[in-house]
Structure 1
C-alpha cells in the first residue's frame, strides 16, 4: 500500500491509483537488481540504475521522485527498527563509548574538514558550513544494506560503523537547530524557544521509553491471545510508525525513534515475530528508496553546473574518507578496517536532504545551491557501490595481528589437525582426553590468540600449501584431520595430502553430500557431512518425543543410515558429485 501511495502522483486517472506505475516500479527492480548482482555490482547499484532508467531522465514513467523518496524513507525507519531488535539495552550500553566517542570524533573532524570545500569555491561561510555538514551525515540506507550484503552487520567492525551512524542520527537534531541559528536573524531566537524544543524532544523520548517498558509487551500478549494474524502485523507496523511519528514530533529523526522502539522490544518474547512481520515491508520500501534516489538524479542540473559538481564530489568524498581513515587508525583499528570503513561511509546521506531543505527555507542556502548539493549527494551515493567493488578487487585483506603467534615449523605430534574452528575444537577434545598429542594449524589469527588464552597452542599455517604441510609434520603424522570451514579449501588440502602423503589416513569435514562424494573421489579415508550427525540425533529425539520407544527410534534411524549408505555408494560408483543431502521416501523407499 505504501508503494502504491508513493506512485499515486504518476496516475493518469485522477482519483485512482494507476497500477501501471506500481507494475513499472516492481518490474524495474525485478529486472535490474538480479542482473546487477549477477554482474557482481550489488543490489544498491541495481536499484539506483533502475530508478534512473524509469525516472524523468530515462523513460519518463515518473516525474516527481521526491514524493517516492519521502514514503520510501520508511524503509530506512524499518531497517533501524530491525537493527534495534538485535541490540539489547545492555549491548547498546556497552557501545556507548563507540557511539559518543568514535561517532563524535568522526563527525566533528569531518565537519572541520568539509566546510573548506565551499569556502575555497567562494561560497559564504554559513552556506559552506551547512553544505559540508550535510555531507558528513552518511547514508544509513546504503551503508546498512552494504553491511548486510557483506555479512558484516554483527562483526566488531560492523558494530563500530553502526555506532557512528547512530550518533549521526542523533546529530541531526542540534544541526537543524544550528541552521536556524545561522539564518538571517536567527541569532535573535530566544533561548527559551531552544530550551522548549529540547524539552519536547526529551519528553518524547521519555514517553517512548515508558511505552516500550510497560505497554508494548502486554499489548502484544493480548493480541496474540485474541487477535488475528494480520492484526499482529498491523500492531508491529503501528509500533514502528508510531515511534517514528513521535520522534518526528519531538524534532528528532524518525529512524532514531524506530531504533529506540526496537531496542525496547529487543528482550520481548515477541521479538522474532515482530522482525518477521516488519522484514517484508522493510525490504520493499528500502528498495523503493534507492529507486527514488536514482530517479532524483537531475541530469539538467548536473549539465548546467558540471564544473562545481565535478570539483565538489571528489573533494567532499576524498576529504571525508581521509578523516574517517585517520579517526579509525587513531582509535586502534587496523589498516584494512580503516580503508573499508572510509570507502563504505564516503557518501553523503538522506538526512542531508532534510538539512539542505531546512537551510534553504531559512535563507542560508539559495535554491540553486540546494539543487547542486542534492545532486552532489546523489552522485556520491551512486559512486559508493562502485567504490566498494573496486575496494574488494584491488585491496586484499590483511592478515590479522601475528603478535604472540608462531608459524608451523618442524612439528612432530602424531595427530595433525588442520583448522581450529568450531568442529576442530570439538574433535580435539576426546583425542586430548585420551592423551594423544596434537599439532593444530589455523589461518585465523584471532582464533589462534583466543586458543592461547585457554592454554591451547595453535600454530599459524595454511593447510592448502604443500610447504606448510611438510613443516607441520604431515609426512610423520599417524592421522590427519581436516576441519576447515570452506569446502573448496578442504578439497584442495585433501588433494595435496593424498598426492604427497598417500599412506597417512585423512579424515575430513564435508560441507554436504556433493562435497562428501567429491572428497571420496579425491581419496579421503573418511568424511563426515558437517550437519549429518547432529541432524540424525535431532531426528531420533523428535521420534522419542512423538511417542516412539527407544528401540523403535533406533531401528528407524538405522534404516535411514542404511539407505543413506546405499545411496552414497551408488553415487560414488556412478560418479555423481553434485547431489545435496536429500533423503526422501518412507522406510524402504529411497528418493533422490
Structure 2
C-alpha cells in the first residue's frame, strides 16, 4: 500500500472518530439522543457533505456487525425460559402487528399507483423497524428490562424473522417458476434449516467446553477472540443459510445465557458493540442520497409522512386491541414508526430480481433513512403528546391512627426498624406517600397510611399529639429536614428519632437538636467490616476491640466537629491509622477539638451509600 493511500485511510478514520466525538455530545446535550447525532455526523462527512467518504455502502457492510453484536448481548440477557415466556408476544403481538401494518402500507402503495408486487415489497420493507435505533433508544431510556420494553423487543424479533419469508417471496415474484429455480429454493430452505440446527447443536454441546478450556489458559485476549469468534461465526452460519446475521448472533447469545461465562462474554463484546453500532449509524447517515431527494423531494416527503403515520396508526390499534394502555400504545407507535436496516436488504433483493427500478430503490431507501432520522424526534414529541406520569394517589384515611410511635417513611429502613417495635407490642402508626409501596406492605399484613409527612394537617390526622416518638425514616435529606423543622416548630415536646443520610446530614440534625439520629449505612458497614475480618481469620475478641475503638473514634470526631461547627463533612469518614489498644475518650476537651477536626477533614473516605 502506498504512503498516500495509507494517509487517506488515516484521514477517514480520524474523520469518523472526530465526527462522532463532536456531533454525539452536542445532540445528547440538546436532548435529541445519540442516534440523531450519529446520523447528522454521517451526513456531514459523507458523499453529500465534506465528501470524505464516497462509498458509504462499504462502511455499512462492516458497521452492520454493530447490530449483530448488539443482538448477541440482548440474547445473553434472554434465558431460554424467559424467551419461551415471551412466545405469546413474539408470535402473537409481533405477528399481528406485522400483518396489520403490512396490509395498511401495501394498500397505501396500491392507492399511490404502484403495481401490487412493488407496493407489497415497499410496504413490507417499511414494516421492518430498525432494531439498532429502537434498541439504542430503549437502552438510553432504561426500558429494555421493563414489561413494555420486552414487548417491543419481542416485536423486533418477529420482524427479524420475517425477513426470511419476505426474501423468499421476492425470489418467487422475480422468478419465472422454472423447475431448476424451484429446486434451488427448496435447497435453500434445507440449508437454512441445517444451519439453524448446527448452530443450536454447537451452542448446546461445544461452546461451554470450549470456553472452559480457554479459561484455564488464563489469557484474556484469547477469551476476547473466542467471544468474537462465537458471535461472528453464528452470524456467518445464519448468513450462509440465507437467514439474518443478527438473528444468528441473538440465538448464540440465548444459547450462552445460562453459561457461567456469560458476564465475561458481555464485558468482552461491549466495547466492540458500542463502536460498531455508532459506525452503523454514521454509515446510514452517509447513505442518504441528497441527489435523489432533490429530484423527488415532494414524493419522498409525502412517502415518509404517509408511511410513518399509517404504520403508527396500525401499531397503536393493534396495541390497544391487545390490552395495552394509551401511553404504552403511543410510545410503541413512536418507537417503531420507522423503517429499518433490513429494508435495505429487501429492497436491494427486489431491485436485483427486477421488481424495483434503480430509481424506485433509491427513493424508497431515502424514505427509510429519513424515517430513521426522524424517530428520535418523534419519541421526544411524546413529552408534549402524553401527560407527565403522575404517581398513583390513595385516599388519606387515618381511621385508627394514633400510636405511641409515628413512623414517617416506610421503605426498607423503616420496615426493619418497625419490626423491633412491633415485636414488643408497641403501637406504630406508619405513613408514606408511595402508593405502590403501601399496597405491597398491605400484602404482608402491615397497615400503612397514605400521607405526606411534610404537611401539618397530615401529621395531626395521623395522631402526632398522642405519639411519644416520631421516627423519621425518609430517604431524602431535604424532605427529612423539612419534617424535622415542621415538627420542632409545631410539636416541640415530641421526641424525634431521625434517619440520617451521611455525616454531614448527621451534623445538621445534631445542630437542630434531635433526640437521636443514625446514619443509614453506619451499622451495616460496621457489621460488614467485622464479618470481613472474621472471614480472614481474625479472633472475635480482636474484632470486638477494633469495632469498639472505631465507634469511640467516630463518636469523638463527631463531637469535635459539632463543637467546632464543622458542618460541611458530607462523607462518613474513618481513620486510616492502625488500631490503638487504648480508645480515645468520648468527651473531647476543647483544646483537642481542632486537632480532631483536622484529622477528620484529612481522613481518606469513600462516598456515602
Question: Does 2:316 correspond to 1:325?
Answer: yes
One of 31, 35, 40 as aligned partner of 1:49: 40
Question: Does 2:422 correspond to 1:432?
Answer: yes
Of stretches 58-67 and 246-255 in structure 1, the one that deviates more from structure 2 is: 58-67
Listed one character per residue, the Cα deviations across residues 221-240 of structure 1 (whole Å, up to 9, x for unaligned) are 11111251110110011111
Shift of 1:176: 1.2
Listed one character per residue, the Cα deviations across residues 112-163 of structure 1 (whole Å, up to 9, x for unaligned) are 1122332232222211111111111111111111111111111111111111
CA distance in 1, matches of 2:561, 2:379: 42
Give the aligned partner of residue 543 of structure 2: 553
Give the aligned partner of residue 576 of structure 1: 568
Tell me, yes or no, if the aligned pair for 1:329 and 1:335 is still in contact at 8 Å.
yes
Listed one character per residue, the Cα deviations across residues 519-578 of structure 1 (whole Å, up to 9, x for unaligned) are 77788766655555444333222222223222333343445455555666677733426x
Question: Does 2:30 correspond to 1:39?
Answer: yes
**3-state SS of paired residue (2:4):** coil
Shift of 1:184: 5.5
Structure 1 portions without partners, runs of 5+: 1-7
Q: TM-score of the superposition, structure 1-length normalised?
A: 0.87
Shift of 1:357: 1.1
CA distance in 2, matches of 1:162, 1:153: 8
Give the aligned partner of residue 249 of structure 2: 258
Structure 1 503/281 Cα, relative in aligned 2: closer, same or farther at 3 Å? farther
Structure 1 340/190 Cα, relative in aligned 2: closer, same or farther at 3 Å? same
CA distance in 2, matches of 1:198, 1:265: 26
Alignment of 1:114-263 (within 5 A): 114-183=105-174, 185=176, 192-263=183-254
Tell me, yes or no, if the aligned pair for 2:504 and 2:567 is still in contact at 8 Å.
no
Tell me, yes or no, if the aligned pair for 1:184 and 1:364 is still in contact at 8 Å.
no
Question: Does 2:299 correspond to 1:308?
Answer: yes
CA distance in 2, matches of 1:340, 1:197: 38
Give the aligned partner of residue 604 of structure 2: 591
CA distance in 1, matches of 2:481, 2:48: 51
Structure 1 26/211 Cα, relative in aligned 2: closer, same or farther at 3 Å? same
Give the aligned partner of residue 4 of structure 1: none
Give the aligned partner of residue 412 of structure 1: 401
Alignment of 1:405-554 (within 5 A): 406-409=395-398, 412-414=401-403, 415-442=405-432, 445-461=435-451, 472=462, 477-481=467-471, 483=473, 530-554=520-544
CA distance in 2, matches of 1:470, 1:497: 10
CA distance in 2, matches of 1:260, 1:508: 52
Q: TM-score of the superposition, structure 2-length normalised?
A: 0.85
Give the aligned partner of residue 91 of structure 1: 82
Aligned residues: 580
Of stretches 538-547 and 453-462 in structure 1, the one that deviates more from structure 2 is: 453-462
CA distance in 2, matches of 1:85, 1:556: 44
Structure 2 portions without partners, runs of 5+: 580-598
One of 44, 51, 59 as aligned partner of 1:60: 51
Rg larger in structure? 2
CA distance in 2, matches of 1:401, 1:354: 46
Structure 1 372/489 Cα, relative in aligned 2: closer, same or farther at 3 Å? farther
Structure 1 549/417 Cα, relative in aligned 2: closer, same or farther at 3 Å? same
CA distance in 1, matches of 2:52, 2:94: 40
Listed one character per residue, the Cα deviations across residues 231-272 of structure 1 (whole Å, up to 9, x for unaligned) are 011001111111111111112111111111111111111111
